[in-house]
Chain A
Amino acid sequence: MESLDPRVNRMKIGGFDGELHKEAMDQLGTYEVFLIPKDGKPLESVGPVHASDAEMAFVFAKEAFSRRFECVAMAVCPTASIFPSPVSEADISAYDLVTIPAETEGENRQYEVFHMNKRGKFHKHVGSVEAIGDIDALYKGKDEYGVDKPKNVWVVPTGDFHFNAEEDSDLWATLPEKKYRDAIFYKAGEKIQRYKESVNS
């Protein structure tokens, strides 16, 4: 029997020889979402959304990633704009795993640098550098911020971000009052206990 499980099909278990690739354009591309949870905190990566363009990505990102908890500002960039370093282990800095030579030609432009300090944690913004290319930006990042020994580094051209305007920070003004969107808002333990007792007695 032919499996319908994409994991099985992708690995060609049982000699599956059907088409493995999706048709081109059958779904939208992804944008990476970044937010600032509260004033004074750095911009951090929180996940991706599918969208047709940056404006639509921002619209989706706002509810997908800031309908709960805290947020004061948000930005999106095409996932393809992110240039990641290799991922390191233990005490090794991800910067030290970058061995390919930097670009030698190109216009200087600004990049934003993000560090992941522990596996599985969000990438957090550490600052900006001027560089002539993606790899050059990683080297410039190492010079500026390498002392942190991150496990992974992202560099992203600043111009590829779509930010909310300063005056639109009120998009999140009522967020602190939406605790009901959180499961922990509902203290049901006592009620469940009472219900169980009433059923058992």
Chain B
Amino acid sequence: MENQAAKELLYKMADDALIIGHRNSEWTGIGPMLEEDISFSSMAQDKIGHSWALFKILNKLGENEPDIVAFTRNAEQFHNCQMVEFPIGEYNFSLVRHFFFDLAEYHRYEMLEDSSLGDLAQLARKIKGEIKYHVLHAKTWMKNLGNSTEEAVSRLQGSLNELYPMALGMFEPSPFEDQIVSDGIFGGESELMSKWRSSVMEIIDQTQLELNIDGDWNPLYGGRSGVHTEHLQPLLDEMSEVVRTDPAAEW
């Protein structure tokens, strides 16, 4: 049972990064403009890199090799929140998801910079600049489009309302919540959520968008314990196609 709390944290972080990285990479080549296509694709690649780094830490804690863990599990063995597995939709959906997700990533990694789990603290410090860019990208777009045309504002507003309960699913409490906090590994999901909500509203308040964070929202939980939508398994099938065709493939 040793390290179980740490593993739960690492798995959900790694799976979040892997699945959103894969999803966002689906915009490669079809982004709304060339510059944005390049930016969004690069960030998707960064996310895959983060998942790889987290799987490496898990590997040191006794789990399988990153490729095996990433490509050979079924949907119910994944611990990502459900938000990240939804199809990319139209760009407003992907953009708002990126905004919610990366603001949470920013605070999560910031909180982990002095984690008692040394490898995780080191990773958090190392990728600080990458996450900083992801957040800058998300905020700049939200402020820009959230103050532009009627169509842009109404599209973003629709996605905010649709995605907010999904985003709350990112903070589904872990069964090890008390232990992870008392062990000094991580400050906990509720502290993270409160930081995240402030950051979200700081940006929303600079736009024509609205979000009633104190409203009666029903968080979309389940992902952390392996309960997923019908969208995850097809994604995993596609992601692992090469490995399943030729397990010894190298490139």
B76 at the interface (CB under 8 A from A): no
User: Which chain B residues border A56 with CB–CB below 8 Å?
Assistant: 140-141, 144
Q: Which residue of B lies closest to A174 (CB)?
A: B130
In the bound complex, CA of A17 to CA of B147 (Å)? 39
Given contacts A59-B136, A186-B251, is CB(A170)–CB(B144) below 8 Å? no
A97 at the interface (CB under 8 A from B): no
- Of B36, B43, B126, the residue contacting A174 (CB under 8 A) is B126
The reply to whether A62 and B35 form a contact with Cβ atoms under 8 Å apart is no
- Of B126, B140, B144, the residue contacting A173 (CB under 8 A) is B126
User: What's the tally of chain A residues with a CB closer than 8 Å to chain B?
Assistant: 22
Count of A-B contacts with CB under 8 A? Answer: 54
The reply to whether A67 and B126 form a contact with Cβ atoms under 8 Å apart is no
Given contacts A51-B35, A53-B144, is CB(A59)–CB(B137) below 8 Å? yes
Given contacts A53-B144, A168-B132, is CB(A64)–CB(B35) below 8 Å? yes
Of listed B45, B128, B133, residue having the most chain A CB within 10 A: B133
Size band of the B side of the interface? 20 to 34
In the bound complex, CA of A168 to CA of B45 (Å)? 21
User: Which chain B residues border A186 with CB–CB below 8 Å?
Assistant: 251
Given contacts A55-B140, A59-B137, is CB(A170)–CB(B39) below 8 Å? no
- A31-55 CB mask vs B (1 if < 8 Å, else 0) is 0000000000000000001111101
The reply to whether B129 and A173 form a contact with Cβ atoms under 8 Å apart is yes
Given contacts A55-B140, A63-B42, is CB(A171)–CB(B133) below 8 Å? yes
User: Which chain A residues border B128 with CB–CB below 8 Å?
Assistant: 170, 173
In the bound complex, CA of A63 to CA of B137 (Å)? 10
- Please provide the chain A residues from 47 to 79 with a CB less than 8 Å away from any CB of chain B in the complex: 49-53, 55-56, 59-60, 62-64, 67
User: Which chain A residues border B144 with CB–CB below 8 Å?
Assistant: 52-53, 55-56
B242 at the interface (CB under 8 A from A): no
A172 at the interface (CB under 8 A from B): yes
User: Which chain A residues border B42 with CB–CB below 8 Å?
Assistant: 63, 67
Given contacts A50-B33, A53-B144, A55-B140, is CB(A172)–CB(B129) below 8 Å? yes
User: Which chain B residues border A28 with CB–CB below 8 Å?
Assistant: 33
Q: Which residue of A lies closest to B129 (CB)?
A: A170
- B20-52 CB mask vs A (1 if < 8 Å, else 0) is 000000000000011110110011010000000
B127 at the interface (CB under 8 A from A): yes
The reply to whether A60 and B251 form a contact with Cβ atoms under 8 Å apart is no
User: Which chain B residues border A171 with CB–CB below 8 Å?
Assistant: 129-130, 132-133
User: Which 8 residue pairs of A and B lie closest in terms of their CB atoms, listed nearest first?
Assistant: A170-B129, A60-B35, A63-B39, A173-B129, A63-B42, A171-B129, A59-B140, A67-B42
7 contacts between A and B (CB under 8 A): A49-B35, A52-B144, A59-B39, A60-B36, A171-B130, A171-B132, A174-B130
B residues at A contact (CB < 8 Å) = 33-36, 38-39, 42-43, 45, 126-130, 132-133, 136-137, 140-141, 144, 251
Q: A50-B34, A171-B130, A174-B129 are in contact. List 12 more A-B contacts (CB 8 A).
A: A50-B35, A51-B35, A60-B39, A62-B133, A64-B38, A64-B39, A67-B42, A168-B129, A171-B129, A171-B132, A172-B129, A174-B126
